[in-house]
Amino acid sequence: MTQTVKYLKDYTAPTHLVPKTDLLFEINEQYTDVWATLHIEPQNGATELVLQGDVKLISIKKNDETLPETAYSLNPNDETLVLPNMPTEPFTLTIHTQVEPQKNKSFNGLYESEGNLYTQCEPEGFRKITFHPDRPDVMGEFTTEIRANADKFPVLLSNGNKIRSGSLNDGRHFAVWHDPFVKPTYLFALVAGDLALTSDFFITQSGRRVVIEFYTRQADAHQVAFAIESLKNSMKWDETRFGLEYDLDIYMVVAVGDFNMGAMENKGLNIFNTKYVLADSQTATDADFEGVEAVIAHEYFHNWTGNRVTCRDWFQLSLKEGLTVFRDQEFSGDRASRAVRRIENVKLLRTHQFAEDASPMAHPVRPASYVEMNNFYTMTVYEKGAEVVRMYHTFLGEEGFQRGMKLYFERHDGQAVTCDDFRAAMADANGFDFEQFALWYSQAGTPTLQISGSLKKNGGNLDYVLRVKQILPDTPDMPASQKQAMMMPLAIALFNENGEKGAFKLPNDDNSYNETILIVNQAEQEFVLREVQQSVTPSLLRGFSAPVHLQFDYTNEQLALLLAHDDDEFARWEAGQTLLRRAIFANETALQQGNDLPQNPLLIQALRNILNDNNLDAAFKAMLLQVPAEAELWGERDHINPVQTTMAREALLDEIAHALHGELLATALNARESENADKRGKEIAFYEYNPKDAGLRALQYACFPLIHRFDEAATIEQVFEHYDEMARKNMTHEWGVLSSINSNASAKRDELLARFAAKFDHQALVMDKYFSLIACSRRADTLVQAQAALNHPRFALDNPNKVRALIGTFARNVPHFHALDGSGYAFVAQHIKKIDAFNPQVAAGLARAFNLLKRIEPQRQALMRAELEAIVALPSLSKDVREIVEKILA
């Protein structure tokens, strides 16, 4: 079966516009009738109208007259409805369709969850509701009437403002919503059900009052306060940092437990995965609170970057996503712990996006083609896209960047545009040449910067010459030989042997600097830094100034120097990470060759200094102690032996745990003391989320697994005894303790997990945590436990959060997913096949676990391949999974 590939180069402007769409939803027990009236404006004398739709068609009227079936043709294969002989003057079509939301487990289009109805239309879900030119460059004004039983569906919501409501016969009622802002179909939303309302308000900078409404299940209403605060903080921040004010008089957020992604920015009516709305200290960890704050902000920021200015076509997705991720990252950084937030973002990018860039799924930030658009909501489009936006910011500075944003909105408010339009606004507002920068949107793969430095005499002075070579990788879409050198900012500073930042001068410039941003824009180039000191250790790619691999031949001593002294937290952390990576690689080599494992006295001493440093911020200290995960270590390597990497990594963890046991214990106890200090004599409920305490807790649980590793028997005893006391404080402590001992082989661990599950039996989001603990344990019986968990009464294969918690987590559990008997691969593959039958998007997400196929050693590669071939052999396989698996196998 061949699949239809869509190409960016084939873009053509719409033949018909739809400036107004009037919708009527008649919600019944078994099905929902939809009448859509499209006010159509043909362009340039077009007569053939093609609408998108994948839904049961009942009838079509043209200007109130019913069309005979001979007047159109339905093509289920490409989801189109073709009407060949339409007028060239404006006309209306009224289309009657019928949907069965109760049967929709794809959570795409109109679907039911716990008796309520919700929609998800991005990117192409609207066509599951009615026929329409379902593409983002066709924008219009929507009016939506909803009719339903008043008892079952007391709440009826859609985009914009409620303009009418009232009762009907037979216990039914109705509401009419009108959205005054033009929007594409993907931003349409409808919610109908029995939901609890929590309201608040926000006064905008111009003094307008915006009503805030959060809708949840009754039982969850007490958990929305933090999300509402986060929304208000986001609204304020967008005014002060970007000068952007909210435009409607109401902002609604609805939380639903069945949701494929994180959340959706529908105009005036966001729909959220409960995971990113509900949070209280007894059920959510500090990381969960930070996730809620970031996603609430992300969806709010889309109101300008996404909704007011949207994408011309789906290839441009990063126009709104990369920019909005950049904005939410900046918001989080401004809220608290900027440096730690930055490092977390880099870690995420390097672990998952770099892996994607090195995989068969590699694609540019603006993909050139796709089969199923849902497969392109990727780390590359989102996270690398945000790095690309960050590079504009680095080149232009905050003021220049804001000038660019201002021009972007002046030019494009109310339009559907491209990444080139954004680039042009940045360039034109600043007189900056971003021509070459466009390559970031068209060339896939992670560039490598190979840098070397040398001192040169220059008269009585010394020059430091940096040679920078950029290497672009082959990717499935384009060989390296066809790629051109990219343009990127390289932030640098120079340190002397005492760890002090040294001054230098630039060519043709007599000012003294102690840091600068070099513009890399050639395949190979040299930069001369003048009048430097005798000893130079360069600090490179400061702040992670470009999304690249960096190669520089540091000595371990130089890395230790940067780790001790660099004032750029990213560069400082990275120096430590490089030492840790080197130590793990050395262990891998020793394991391969059957040699004794090397010792790492310099690394251990550097870590000891960090643990003993009382001036370091706790959250940052916790980051410095993180040992890179397996996926971060694989980079672009071939012949990966995953379990050997795990063993090499575990051996280093053992070395650290033993060499630094005393320091780890003292650090953890100190952090606990500091956390408790201001709480003495107060209620336990005082252990609420705040960034400072979160940092202290992060440090405790960076140390605790290593403390457990040092003496498992004693630690599990201690945890077993004090569990309730720890758990009573908050979920971060409860989770931290359980995670730390989760790989312990004793029955006590099982008992603790069982107690946890019993305690939170009715908290769906906490049960997700229980399932992920089962799935990420490195205990020998993890697969058996994961299989048993499938039958747990709270597990549900049709709930995406549950699937991701159990099966998704298992697929990232390196020694178990990659078990040499193939059992891990079989377990995941079996569920991809099962889930694909009703939720292709979630199944396709799981299929990405096999991305490593070609880079893994032959024995496992054969096992993986067999599973993948069985998947593609399924005749009814979705195009979502097929696209991913065929690319992996190609």
Report, in Å, the least distance between residue 550 CB and ligand ARG: 29
SS3 annotation, 820-875: CCCHHHHHHHHHHHHHHCCCHHHHHHHHHHHHHHHHECHHHHHHHHHHHHHHHCCC
- Shortest reach from residue 700's CB to ligand ARG, in Å: 33
Q: Which does 185 bind (CB under 5 to 8 A by kind): ligand ARG, Zn ion, none?
A: none
Residue 69 burial by Cβ neighbours in a 10 Å radius (0-12, 13-18, 19+): exposed
Of 492, 499, 445, which Cα lies nearest the Cα of 468?
492
SS3 496: coil
Tell how far CA 696 is from the center of its chain: 25
Footprint of ligand ARG on this chain (CB under 6 A)?
120, 122, 260-261, 263-265, 298-299, 321, 374, 377
* Closer to ligand ARG by Cβ: residue 120 or 430: 120
Q: Which is nearer to ligand ARG, 742 or 841 (CB)?
A: 841
Is the bond preceding 19 in cis, omega lying within 30 degrees of 0? no
Query: How many helices and strands (H and E) does the chain possess?
Result: 29, 32
CB of 123 vs ligand ARG, minimal distance in Å: 6
Residue (373 or 564) nearer to Zn ion, CB: 373
- Cβ at position 841, least distance to ligand ARG in Å: 6
CB of 342 to ligand ARG, least distance (A): 21
Question: Which residue's CB is nearer to Zn ion, number 302 or number 794?
Answer: 302
Comparing every residue's Cβ against ligand ARG, the nearest one is 377
Helix/strand/coil for 143: strand
CB of 575 to Zn ion, least distance (A): 33
Q: 278 is in the binding site of which of ligand ARG, Zn ion, none (Cβ under 5 to 8 A by kind)?
A: none
User: How far apart (Å, rounded) are the C-alpha atoms in residues 104 and 117?
Assistant: 11
Q: Give least dist CB 378 to ligand ARG, A.
A: 10
263 vs 652, which CB is nearer to ligand ARG? 263
The sheet that has 209-216: what strands, in order across it?
Answer: 196-203, 209-216, 250-256, 269-273, 263-264
* Binding partner at 122 among ligand ARG, Zn ion, none, C-beta below 5 to 8 Å by kind: ligand ARG
Q: CA-CA distance, 738 to 26, in Å (whole number)?
A: 48
Q: Measured from the CB atom, is 356 or 383 closer to Zn ion?
A: 383
* x-or-dash string of contact with Zn ion, 709-748, rule CB under 5 A: ----------------------------------------
Q: Which residue, 288 or 321, is less far from ligand ARG as judged by CB?
A: 321
Where are the strands (E) in 43-195, listed by range?
Answer: 49-52, 56-62, 65-66, 73-75, 80-83, 91-99, 109-113, 116-120, 140-149, 155-158, 161-167, 172-183, 190-193
Strand partners, 251: 212
Token pair of 601 as six digits? 């006295």
Q: Please tell me the distance from the alpha carbon of residue 510 to that of residue 836, in angstroms, as a whole number.
A: 64
Q: Which is nearer to ligand ARG, 265 or 574 (CB)?
A: 265
Where would I find the H helices in 711-839? 712-729, 731-741, 747-759, 764-776, 782-789, 800-803, 809-811, 814-817, 823-836
Contact partner at residue 330 from ligand ARG, Zn ion, none, CB < 5 to 8 Å by partner kind? none
Interacting partner of 600 out of Zn ion, ligand ARG, none (Cβ under 5 to 8 A depending on kind): none
Q: Of 385 and 543, which CB lies nearer to ligand ARG in the complex structure?
A: 385
The least distance separating Zn ion from the CB of residue 323, rounded to whole angstroms, comes to 9
Of the ranges 212-220, 240-248, 316-324, 615-623, which one interacts with Zn ion (CB under 5 A)?
Answer: 316-324
89 is catalytic: no
Residue 374 binding result from Zn ion, ligand ARG, none, given CB thresholds of 5 to 8 Å by partner type: ligand ARG
Q: Are strands 172-183 and 161-167 parallel, antiparallel or unpaired?
A: antiparallel
261 binds, among ligand ARG, Zn ion, none (CB under 5 to 8 A by kind): ligand ARG
Active-site residue (options: 213, 265, 299, 569): 299
Least CB distance to ligand ARG at residue 125 (A): 7
Q: Output 382 or 504, the one with its CB closest to ligand ARG.
A: 382
- For 681, other C-beta atoms within 10 Å of its C-beta total 5
Closest CA to 732 of 300, 289, 424, 313: 289
120 vs 545, beta carbon nearer ligand ARG: 120
530 binds, among Zn ion, ligand ARG, none (CB under 5 to 8 A by kind): none
Rounded alpha-carbon distances, angstroms, from residue 211 to 184, 204, 496: 24, 11, 57
Least distance between ligand ARG and beta carbon 356 (Å): 16
With respect to Zn ion, which residue has the nearer C-beta, 363 or 572? 363
Q: How far apart are CA 312 and CA 417, in angstroms?
A: 5
Task: Report the distance separating Cα 361 and Cα 887, nearest Å.
Answer: 7
The listed partner (ligand ARG, Zn ion, none) that binds 345, CB under 5 to 8 Å by sort, is none
Sign of the CA dihedral with 549 first, then 554, 555, and 557 last: negative
What residues from 323 to 342 belong to the interface with Zn ion (CB under 5 A)? 324
Question: Binding pattern to Zn ion, positions 271-310, x when CB under 5 A?
Answer: ----------------------------------------
Q: What, of Zn ion, ligand ARG, none, does residue 836 touch, CB below 5 to 8 Å by kind? A: none
Q: Report what 422 binds from ligand ARG, Zn ion, none; CB cut-off 5-8 Å by kind.
A: none
Write out the two tokens for 751.
């008992």
Pairing of strands 516-520, 91-99: unpaired
Contact assessment for residue 587 and residue 651, using Cβ atoms and an 8 Å cutoff: yes
Distance in angstroms (rounded) separating the CA atoms of residues 684 and 249: 39
Tell me how far, at minimum, the Cβ of 181 lies from ligand ARG, in Å: 17
User: Minimum CB separation from Zn ion for residue 270, in Å?
Assistant: 11
Q: How far is the CB of 86 from Zn ion (least distance, A)?
A: 35
> Which helix (H) or strand (E) element contains residue 889?
helix 879-889
Report yes or no: 361 and 378 within 8 Å, Cβ to Cβ.
Answer: yes
Residues listed for the chain: 890
User: In terms of C-beta density within 10 A (0-12 exposed, 13-18 middle, 19 or more buried), how is residue 653 classed?
Assistant: middle
Q: At what angle do helices 747-759 and 731-741 cross, to 10 degrees?
A: 150
Give the residue with the Cβ less far from ligand ARG, 307 or 337.
Answer: 307
Residues 6+ apart with CB under 8 A from 800: 107, 258, 259, 260, 839, 842
Q: 93-124 b/e with 16+ CB inside 10 Å = b?
A: bbbbbebebeebbbbbbbbbbeebbbbbbbbb
* Residue 799 contact partner, candidates ligand ARG, Zn ion, none, CB within 5 to 8 A by sort of partner: none
Among ligand ARG, Zn ion, none, what binds residue 264 when CB lies within 5 to 8 Å by partner kind? ligand ARG
Catalytically active residues, by annotation: 299
Q: Which residues bind Zn ion (CB under 5 A)?
A: 321, 324
